[in-house]
Chain A
Amino acid sequence: MENLDGKYFERVIGELQKAKAKENYVLNPEFKSRLRADLVARAELLVEKPGFDWNAFLNKWKYAFGAVPTLAILTVVAFNFANNKVVVKQTDFMPVIQNTGADMLKVAGNDSSADLVNTYSVSENDSLESAGVKTFSAALALPPAEFLEQYKNGGSVQNKMIVPTVEVSSFSFDSGTGQDVGSLKISDPKLQTFKFDFGSATVDFSVKSNVDNFVENVNSVQVVPKNEVSKDTSVQLDNANVNTSKFEESGRVESSGVIISPVQNKEQIMSKTVPVQEESVNKVVSVDQPKTVEPVPSLNEVTVKESPDAILLKDNKVVAPTATEYINPQIEMTKLADYYVPANTLMNQAMSVQPNVFAESRVKYEGEDRDLIVRLVSQSFVGKTDFAPDYYIKVEKLLSGNLKISLFEYGYISKVIFLSAADGFKVVTELRY
């Protein structure tokens, strides 16, 4: 780079200096003196300050002034919290609360509402005042201690598979070994069953298999769970109705004679022991011939009841019907089921010791011998008394056969999981928001 003072720029700089020399900018003396006087007058005003500089004072204490209304509001809020009980109105409860009885879980041969799981219940210990107002103590807002302990100690939870066509509920998520509790972990791909956490709720996926898949799956199912959070899956079979004649013809179970006896409530579902004939189970659970299963003598006629695609809750108020949505020309999404879980239901869940299933959906795959059952299970619910958490699960079946499961919390989508149905419902993508 040439020197600015060197010969290279000599001519240019010379011209500039000539131009400057030719300049004749003269400041008007009158203007100059007028401006000077004006400035002096202004300077005098600056010197003669008033007794108290309000501007400086306000500028200095502006944040303090802003804090006054904030503190006042906080004081009022704190006062109200301190002086008001937590009250939940009776009218807030879901109508299905009254349904605590026999039709909690029913898989009946001729009943179109098979596979229904009543998802809402009121604990018998809850006090329901006649005035229509339900009052909770503060302790009830805490996480259920017993369940929390089980949850912490857990790491692997499996329920026994008893008979074919009963969903396998085997899952694993590790909270005790440092892994993210909320992360999904498939316990056994062969089971095609897993569970993951959605914050205060859990979604449990399980594959409901017919005999073919069941036998294939049993290899894994036979592993005894190392820690059972929920007690044995409580179903009762009426083997007399099992018929395998159609199975012999097509190799696929067409209808079900399996009957799960009505139980009183969810606690009973979780705790009731299943009276199963060991012989029949052992035969079905034959490991040696997983693919070609001979009809089991005890299963004379297996008839599997087709479950409805979308409606799984008894009360229609919380379940949307099946509908087809066209999101864009390339992707057709079928909304199988929508669940809206009101706040008071979650509160009831929080009060109960056992995690309860409060929504379940079955996704059918035509041409395949398996269904997918998607459950929304309450796991723990911490300290939300009179606030209303809004949990909403949406299950969509894509044209590709994959599943898209979205969870909405407080109106916002919080997680989306894409499941590949082609290979055992494995998680393809998990998105967190």
Chain B
Amino acid sequence: MSTALLKENQLVEEAKANPEKFAVLYDKYVEQIFRYVMRRVNSQETAEDLVSQTFYDALSHLNSYTFKGYPFSAWLYKIAHNNVLKWYRENSKYQKVDLEEITDLKDENLDVEDQVDALKSKDDIREFMDQLEEEERELIRLKYFEELGNLEIAEVMGITANNVGVRLYRALKRLKQIMS
């Protein structure tokens, strides 16, 4: 086990005893969690709400955290992941589009749906990823955007590390087929 991990765990234990030290953990991970949430919801406002909720939850449940040999961020990702899923459940009827990005579009004659499509087309790989299942997208995001290890992904998604490898392989294979 790396020294960095042990030091981080020591910091977490100190934060349990003195919650004011939680700010150190916040400073370390807030931007990382924000990017992860932003990739999921693609809305600044929603992402900020979900990041706030994630850190509130982490602070209030800090005493229940147990060190399992991987970074504290995995626990934060798990809370964020659950909050995003909850948000999607509660807002499943609506598809939120960032107005700021929409106004950047040159062709203002397009309707909202076309604008959303146009927004997606800016990034081909994301368009291809949209054709994957949500779980496959999440695996790819955690692996290649958040750069988490299989153990951490397993912790976030509630599956085994071996299963992460197998599912990730299938997701990449499908993505490759879609791209070709």
Which of A's residues lie within 8 Å of B, judged by CB? Answer: 1-2, 4, 8-9, 11-13, 15-20, 22-23, 25, 27-28, 31-32, 35-36, 38-40, 42-44, 46-47
Contact = CB atoms under 8 A, between A and B. Distances in A.
Interface stretch (B5-13, B22-30, B79-87): B22-30
Closest 6 pairs (CB-CB, A-B):
A43-B19, A16-B144, A25-B38, A46-B19, A15-B125, A19-B125
B115 to A, nearest CB: 20
13 contacts: A4-B172, A9-B173, A12-B179, A15-B125, A15-B179, A16-B144, A19-B125, A25-B38, A27-B30, A35-B26, A40-B23, A42-B56, A42-B60
Nearest to A46: B19
Interface stretch (B47-55, B70-78, B106-114, B153-161): B47-55
Contacts of A40: 20, 22-23
A9 B176 contact: yes
Contacts of B23: 36, 39-40, 43
Given A35-B26, A35-B48, A43-B20, 8 more contacts: A4-B169, A15-B179, A16-B145, A25-B38, A28-B44, A40-B22, A42-B59, A43-B21
Interface of B: 18-23, 26-27, 30-31, 34-35, 38-39, 44, 48, 51-52, 55-56, 59-60, 123-126, 140, 144-145, 165-166, 168-169, 172-173, 175-176, 179
A145 B56 CA distance: 72
Contacts of A47: 18-20
A31 B169 contact: no
Nearest to A45: B19
Contact of A39 (B22, B34, B168): B22
Given A9-B176, A22-B123, A44-B20, A16 B140 contact: yes
Nearest to A18: B125
B175 A12 contact: yes
Contacts of A11: 176, 179
A35 B60 CA distance: 15
